Amino acid sequence: MKQLFRGGIHPNDGKALSRGGAPVPMPAPSRVIIPMSQHIGAPCSPLVKVGDTVKLGQKIGDGEGVCSPVHASVSGTVAAVEQLPIPGGRQAVCVVIDSDGKDTPDPAIKPRASHKGLSPAELAAIVREAGICGMGGAAYPTNSKILSTAGKTETLLINACECEPYITSDDMVMCTWPEKVILGARILADVIGAKHTVIAVEDNKPEAIEALRAKAEGQEDIEIRALPTRYPQGAKKQLILAVTGKEVAPGARTGALFNVTTVYSICRAVYEGLPITEKVVTVTGEGANEPKNVIVRVGTPIEQVLDFAGGVKEETCKVVCGGPMMGVAQGNLAVPVVKGTNALLCLTDPAPAAEDPACIRCGKCMDACPMGLQPLNLYRYVNCGDKEELGRLNLEDCMECGCCAYVCPGRLPLVETFKAGKKLLKEGKR
């Protein structure tokens, strides 16, 4: 198939390190830390207090507006409700639960026999109560997306590209539970009224493609489409362009596009009644002793996940939440796994810093930018604080994919600079 989106790169994908074998369930920790803010939108308010007894899957946080409830990932007793560090260097109100070791399920968890007859509002309510948000890392509440796309699209697009190097959690979800991915796609398509469903998978995942096609056999309206491997194939606008040939205008919404693990989670919420209490996390990198995918309870401290997966090598210099292109280095390994955690990348080779970084105007960053921006000029205008030029050159369209920094021979801190530039523009609008 012709590659349709502009730019992009072919970094070493590193996926062979953790690919293969079903995800390994990690025993529940003795204590979990459940942040009230794990999604885009308003943070939840705690529904429990210190000393309360909670059940596995019980809703312990909720809020108004664009919000995704959070649930207890163990049964036990609330030990604290306090501000604590969370991934990304931030702090949030967290509910700390001491496990009783029983995993007693919340009686509100009830499976359904069928999704037939569900209205968009009813499915959105189920998805909201399950705490499902974008599981590919975006963490936008999925119920809002269901309501905004119902009856407005003929094509449902499921993002199964997982283009970020090293990460294989989506891949292993597809290989291990392909029937639930297909059923989740069927639920969404039936309820929002889509006539055609495309599950887009990069062609470096042949086992996942084969597994999905086998489970989708006989369902003519569900297509498993293999796309050429190229980063960032899984970015929303690039994926829509590659699949449909249609370019999404700046600022426009991307419509009926859902991450594959989100779709899997929808299936579990509808047919098993299960909220988000666990996540498949890839533990990988040259610094990981035993790279693998692990099924982790939300709220498990990162350091415990690393220990369960075999620990890290002595030469490990950095642990990144996410992948090497868009992940965030994590200085505090006591922070918990959250809904959007898809990988823990253990690095042994520190990225060399340029002694005197300077732009040589080679233009490689412009060739690599999948958004067609001018990184070399944006870098200059951020540094001189020219908000007018930053607006004219569409800095806010930058998705911080890291392609420009990857190809820059001067090793300029482009992504960090663009993040600072966006803050500058945001402050100017206040």
Domain ranges of the chain: 110-272, 364-429
Up-side HSE of residue 205: CA atoms within 13 Å toward CB?
35
CB 133 within 8 A of CB 141: yes
401 is in an annotated binding site: yes
Give the per-residue pLDDT at 253. Answer: 66
* 1 pLDDT more than 50: no
359 is in an annotated binding site: yes
317 is in an annotated binding site: no
175 is in an annotated binding site: no
408 is in an annotated binding site: yes
Q: 400-422 burial, b for 16+ CB within 10 Å, e for fewer? A: ebbbbbbbbebebebbebbeebb
φ/ψ (deg, to 5) at 429: -90, -10
- The residues with which 31 forms a beta bridge, in sequence order, are 98
**What sign does the CA torsion over 260, 266, 269, 275 have?**
positive
CA 88 to chain centre: 14
| Token pair 């690599």: residue | 368
**What percentage of the chain carries pLDDT values higher than 70?**
97
pLDDT by residue (tens digit) across 222-266? Answer: 999 999 999 999 999 999 999 988 887 766 666 689 999 999 999
* 351 pLDDT more than 80: no
Residue 382, amino acid: V
Q: In whole numbers, what is the pLDDT of the chain averaged over residues?
A: 94
CB 410 within 8 A of CB 357: yes
Angle CA 306–40–165, to nearest 5:
45
Superfamily of domain 110-272: NADH-ubiquinone oxidoreductase 51kDa subunit (3.40.50.11540)
Average pLDDT over residues 134-150: 89
Average pLDDT over residues 315-340: 95
94: left (phi over 0), alpha (psi -120 to 50) or beta: beta
Residue 369, amino acid: C
What is the pairing mode between strands 318-321 and 328-329?
antiparallel
161 is in an annotated binding site: no
Which residues, 6+ apart, have CB-to-CB distance to 248 below 8 Å?
Answer: 236, 237, 240, 241, 254
Model pTM score: 0.94
414: left (phi over 0), alpha (psi -120 to 50) or beta: alpha
**What percentage of the chain carries pLDDT values higher than 90?**
87
Could you give the CA distance from residue 372 to residue 421 in angstroms, rounded to a whole number?
18
* 79 — pLDDT class (breaks 50, 70, 90): very high
Average pLDDT over residues 267-273: 98
Could you give the CA distance from residue 270 to residue 254 in angstroms, rounded to a whole number?
25
Least confident range of 237-241, 254-258, 268-272, 322-326: 254-258
- From residue 179, give the alpha-carbon distance in Å to each of 62, 110, 185, 263: 31, 20, 10, 11
Q: Centre a 10 Å sphere on the Cβ of residue 324 and count the other Cβ atoms it contains.
A: 21
